[in-house]
Structure 1
Amino acid sequence: MFACRAAWQRCGPLARQSLNRAHLYRDVVPRRLMSSVPGGSGENLLYAVLCGGAFAGALAYAYRTVATDKARFADRVSEIDARPKSEWKPKPWPPKSGENGDE
């Protein structure tokens, strides 16, 4: 509490003085008007074309990849399904103290 009050007594007048100066300078300095509306002169057109092209390319690549890999995916799934499966059996609980656990 004491440190906060001491800091306020020391820095408070300085803060108030700088705020008053900022208020005075704000009224004196003329405001500059923008020469053009952002993007109105075509400066962002290049960015829009590049981003649109990249997006279209990404969509085309994704579609081509999904369409061509469909047969390969189906073959892999059928191969995995054709593998022999052994019946899963749970280990007895509680485990025996002499059992290794690597079966």
Structure 2
Amino acid sequence: MTIGVPEPQWILDQTGSGSLFWRRDSMGKNPRVKFRYEVEVKEFQRAAHELEESEWCHQIESSSMLTMGMTCLFCITITVILPWYILIGNNY
């Protein structure tokens, strides 16, 4: 089950000096913004869900180290044996 995070509604505003800046009108969808031009950030507030710790980092098991080691060993074995089989193994 995936829980969607609401994205903020961003509004491009202009100061009296002509500088452009983004501001949020309300709590909305995505806090990430891509700027096409150089802008000055005047306001930034984290939403409540951004301050919460993620649960997945606490659920990592110690067996992941064993799994990663076995995967590396498998990849190295394939890297050594496969070229040998292709180049030398077909000649016999």
* TM-score scaled by length of structure 2: 0.35
> Relative contact order (alpha carbons < 8 A, sep ≥ 6): 1 or 2 greater?
2
Structure with greater proportional helix content? 1
Q: Which structure shows the bigger proportion of residues in strand conformation?
A: 2
In our comparison, the structure showing a higher alpha carbon Rg is 1
